[in-house]
Amino acid sequence: MNNSLKETIQALREACPNLSDMELAQLALGQSIGKKNAGVTVSELLVKVREIYWDNELKRLRAKKNPDGTMKIKDTSTYRVYDTNWKRLESLFGQKDIAELKASDVVEVALLAEKECIQYWERLNKSREQRGMPLKEFTGANRYNACLDAISVVFNKAIEQELVPANRTHSIPRKEIDTPKRHGLTKVQVDELLETALSGGNDPILDHLILWTQLETAARMGGILKLQMRDLDTQRQSITLVEKRSKKREQPVTKELMESLIRFAKSRGATQLSDSVFRYLPNKAGISSPLTSKRFETLWKRLGKNLPWVSAQSISGHYLRHTVLTWVDRTSGHSVARAYAGHSAGDTTDSYTKVGFLEIVNAHSSITGTLHPLQNF
């Protein structure tokens, strides 16, 4: 056995630990047998794949136009992920006949995607460590699997054109993804966070209000940053959060939080409906700018310095969201918790019963211990 073959088998063994030595050898030696239309390179086939896939993506986007008629181009994330992996495939095997592309070649591309993912997160964590921020847990397995999915699209086109007899990616096992376990915080921990936010830093009122809002509404960072004066409904005692993919959700709040949000925003110069609620302290010119994501980094860095368990467990704002949803799940059930989170049917694999806004209001009252005015109707 030559060294090149040994190296290929070893790479396959690391990527596919569940396969036997015989199966690994077959993968390493496997040849794609072309039928008709032989002689098409990977690069040549990708031209057609990109054209067809992008046309289909545009059709999907046109069906999901914004109210003003513009397309939601940000929803092209799947195409971008696929194209990134197609570029990896092309850089390594672009001039190779698609009929000669082996499973071991595909694994090599997927391993490259995984390696680049790990290197990215290592650089990011080094930067976060230097800034005193909690480190992020990561795995490259999801990028490995995503790369196989992208290359599978290429093989499906090759099969359609009778260039190969089978999809080579189907013989390659996907990697198991060890999702980092995020746990809910205890009441003692939540109280410590709120107390610490309010007792230090250059803008404790702002920091405390951020945490308070997240703990009542399970808001993501994006929802906090996009909250405007028009989103505060005093009649319904609720706020409208605009979060991932511009999706909106109405969330009940306590009377105390509503009053605090309005008072805070007005104290920082918010007068128009389009003005942001969360704002920085006024500068020397007396101007208070809308909040940015930088404030969240500053806040959690400060909390981590003052509370050792925050930095030790890499606690972040998303833990607050998870904590709230854990509370709702325990008091009102899984379906209500998913609705409280802003998930809709089709967001995840499991289905759930349609939940009305009144049930979300009841869940909010259960976790806050207060009566909401809409419960009277």
**CATH code, 187-376:** 1.10.443.10
The predicted structure's pLDDT at residue 181 = 58
The predicted structure's pLDDT at residue 377 = 52
Distance of CA 194 to the CA centre of its chain: 26
* CB-based contact 272:248 (threshold 8 Å): no
Q: What residue type is 252 in one-letter code? A: P
Closest CA to 168 of 148, 187, 182: 148
Per-residue pLDDT of the chain (377 residues; tens, 9 = 90+): 556 666 666 776 776 666 666 666 656 655 333 334 447 899 999 998 888 877 766 666 566 555 565 555 444 567 788 889 999 999 999 999 999 999 999 999 999 999 999 899 888 888 877 776 666 767 788 899 999 999 999 999 899 888 888 899 999 999 887 655 556 899 999 999 999 999 989 999 999 999 999 999 999 999 999 999 999 999 999 999 998 778 899 999 999 999 999 999 999 999 999 999 999 999 999 999 999 999 999 999 999 999 999 988 888 888 899 999 999 999 999 889 989 988 765 444 344 456 889 999 999 999 999 999 998 65
The predicted structure's pLDDT at residue 31 = 38
Gyration radius (Cα) of the chain, Å: 26
The predicted structure's pLDDT at residue 29 = 56
* CB-based contact 142:118 (threshold 8 Å): no
Residue-range domain boundaries for the chain: 3-171, 187-376
Q: What's the CA angle centered on 124, arms 123 and 126, to 5 degrees?
A: 65
Q: How far apart are CA 187 and CA 191, in angstroms?
A: 6
The predicted structure's pLDDT at residue 263 = 97
The predicted structure's pLDDT at residue 18 = 64
Q: Which two tokens stand for residue 161?
A: 């054109």
Closest CA to 297 of 289, 308, 305: 305
pTM (2 decimals)? 0.60
